[in-house]
Amino acid sequence: MVAAHAGVSTATVSLVANGKTRGRVSADNISRVSQAIAELGYVVDSVGSSLAKGVSSIVVLVAPDISNPFFAKVVAGVRESLGADFQLLLSVTEAGEFPRADDIRRLLALRPAGLLVDAPDAAFLEDLSTTGPMVLLDAPGLEAYAPSVNLDVAHGARELAAHLAASGHQRVAYLDSVTGTATFTIRRTTFLAEAAGRGMTVDPAHLISTTIDVGASADAFAAAWPQWQQAGVTAVVCATDTHAYGVLQQARVAGLRIPDELAVAGFDDLPYSATSNPGLTSVHLPATRLGLKAGEQLRGLIEGRDLEQPQLTLESSLIVRGSTERTAAS
């Protein structure tokens, strides 16, 4: 219909619709086809196209939880690396649950060009058993399954423990995420080990967890704080900045002076952490670069290139701000 409307061949319509006109279709024919497409409301049948080619332009990004704003920056990095040649499809599970291979196998019917899998577990990867291009994000310990881009979260966790110890804190509480992925385990266990080695105490009763939600973390802190305060806790470390925002919010309601009566720190270093009052001390994790590098790795696999570094690890660093650093006047 488009070809008849524009007075050209169906092959010309295909070239225009798929953006392959350079050196093959005249400017006049491009204009005529584009006008016909607009008038007829024509949309390329991507499913039919993928059946014909054996693969689509879809890239599936599998994630266990996108409630953390950190993930938006990861997606932005992925989009930048893939460019306009690919469409990004998100497959998200409920908070605290790992993806299921059966769900992803249904998406494989779309014949995606490749898979990006964020924070999976070994059971999922073994059950999925895909042979197509795949790259793992933030999946420490699973490098044997596929090329991966990880974060050196442990380095930042050790820096945070050293900072709090140097600031004189002896009793610390930890607010964790219920997500249960490896990155959160590493954040917690590394911090606790370094804290113990530097003479700080984190009692098991001072370890709690919530979903990645400001309100949930505020409520959890409100319920726990009377006991923590009685036990002499002077600092709270949170698994994400989002958790920390809830703690800061509730600490203000309780009339606590930050950081003189209570120091608060998090992980991720979200943009708001630099402008909050006080600024939030946080372990900086390069979210955008994580997505960018993972997308670049996947694109290389899709295009059949050998990866120079199949396994990449991005550095973390501690950003100290007012939520833990006392001023001279204090």
**Which pLDDT score, from 0 to 100, does residue 163 have?**
98
Mean pLDDT calculated for residue range 290-301: 97
Mean pLDDT of the residues in the chain: 90
pLDDT at 99 over 80: no
pLDDT digits (tens, 9 = 90+) for 72-98: 999 999 999 999 889 999 988 766 567
**Which pLDDT score, from 0 to 100, does residue 55 have?**
59
CA distance linking residue 147 with residue 202, whole number of Å:
36
Q: Which residues contact 161 (CB under 8 A, 6 or more apart)?
A: 191, 194, 195, 197, 198, 200
Mean pLDDT calculated for residue range 305-329: 89
Residue 193 neighbours by CB distance under 10 Å: 14
pLDDT digits (tens, 9 = 90+) for 210-263: 999 999 999 999 999 999 999 999 999 999 999 999 999 999 999 999 999 999
pTM: 0.80
**Which pLDDT score, from 0 to 100, does residue 191 have?**
98
pLDDT at 328 over 70: no
Residue 201 DSSP code = B
CA distance linking residue 235 with residue 258, whole number of Å:
10
pLDDT digits (tens, 9 = 90+) for 46-63: 545 444 444 578 999 998
Angle at 259 between CA 258 and CA 260, to 5 degrees: 100
**Which pLDDT score, from 0 to 100, does residue 108 have?**
85
- In this prediction, residue 45 has a pLDDT band, given cuts at 50, 70 and 90, of low
CA distance linking residue 57 with residue 73, whole number of Å:
22
